[in-house]
């Protein structure tokens, strides 16, 4: 199972060092199925027992892109994994930027966690599947380092995960489109994780709030 933690705009370099030390210790050895996306100012240069990913980047090696992070900056920290399409970033750009990022990340061999998800209005108008299919139309669903995270917007950060039947139906549908690992994200926590991980085609979870404290993230990983 894949366990990914999106720390968003939480943690500093010093607090993330403590987070990473505890996670390293709990893992014992390198595990490619544990991914953590810290804020970029907290990237660690030293070896870690998990995959350190970036929450955002700009599709460039380096250059005149004020405030952005390019490949050269990621390389310094050995970052080989990128998060693309998170709903909190989709509001800041359009599909063409997302496609630009995906194509760049693929060209440079990054592991990509690609987020998709519908809002409540789309769900209530029974348009979820066609909406998700459209979100996936701009990327290569056969890319071997791709992971797709289904994150319904209405369940992110609310404390209430999506209905299990709804998640099942969506993952069943996504599995007809691609063979890459499928994750669920949206208010995953101690009380629902076991059931979520039993859903057919669910190969793991992307966790926000419940992974902010390292001891909670470790508990979720260890079951």
185 binds ligand PEP (CB under 6 A): yes
221 binds ligand PEP (CB under 6 A): no
| DSSP 8-state code for residue 54 | B
- Between CA 138 and CA 154 the distance in angstroms is 23
208 binds ligand PEP (CB under 6 A): yes
**Catalytic position from the list 76, 108, 151, 172:** 151
- Concerning whether 151 is annotated as a catalytic residue, the answer is yes
Task: Give residues 124-183 in contact with ligand PEP (rule: CB under 6 A).
Answer: 151, 156-157
CA angle at 136 for the pair 220 and 101, rounded to the nearest 5°: 85
- Concerning whether 108 is annotated as a catalytic residue, the answer is no
Residue closer to ligand PEP by CB (options 2, 207) is 207
Kindly list the distances between the CA atom of residue 171 and the CA atoms of 60, 115, 165, in Å, as whole numbers in the listed order: 33, 13, 10
User: Contact region for ligand PEP (CB under 6 A) — 24-32, 67-75, 130-138, 201-209?
Assistant: 201-209
Pick from 209, 216, 218, 219 the residue near ligand PEP by CB under 6 A. 209
Is 61:33 a contact under the CB 8 Å cutoff?
no
Sheet strands (E) in 7-138: 34-37, 51-52, 81-84, 111-116
Q: 65: burial class by Cβ within 10 Å (0-12, 13-18, 19+)?
A: exposed
User: Contact region for ligand PEP (CB under 6 A) — 47-55, 72-80, 101-109, 185-193?
Assistant: 185-193
Could you tell me the smallest distance in angstroms from the CB atom of residue 38 to ligand PEP?
14
Is 216:223 a contact under the CB 8 Å cutoff?
no
Tell me which residues are annotated as active site: 86, 151
Q: Which residues bind ligand PEP (CB under 6 A)?
A: 6, 151, 156-157, 185-188, 206-210
């Amino acid at each position: 199972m894949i366990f990914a933690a999106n720390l968003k705009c939480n943690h500093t370099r010093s607090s993330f060092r403590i987070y990473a030390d505890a996670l390293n210790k709990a893992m014992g050895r390198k595990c490619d199925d544990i991914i953590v996306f810290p804020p970029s100012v907290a990237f660690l240069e030293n070896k870690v027992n998990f995959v350190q990913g970036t929450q955002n980047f700009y599709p460039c090696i380096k250059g005149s892109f004020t405030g952005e992070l390019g490949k050269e900056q990621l390389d310094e920290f050995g970052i080989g994994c990128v998060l693309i399409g998170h709903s909190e970033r989709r509001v800041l750009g359009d599909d063409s930027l997302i496609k630009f990022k995906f194509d760049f990340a693929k060209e440079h061999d990054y592991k990509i966690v690609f987020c998709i998800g519908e809002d409540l209005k789309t769900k209530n108008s029974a348009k979820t599947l066609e909406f998700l299919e459209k979100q996936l139309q701009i990327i290569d669903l056969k890319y071997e380092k791709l992971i797709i995270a289904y994150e319904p917007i209405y369940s992110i950060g609310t404390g209430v995960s999506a209905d299990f039947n709804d998640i099942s139906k969506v993952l069943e549908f996504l599995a007809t489109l691609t063979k890459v690992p499928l994750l669920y994200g949206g208010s995953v926590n101690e009380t629902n994780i076991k059931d979520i991980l039993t859903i057919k085609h669910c190969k793991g979870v992307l966790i926000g709030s419940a992974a902010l404290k390292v001891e909670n993230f470790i508990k979720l990983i260890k079951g």
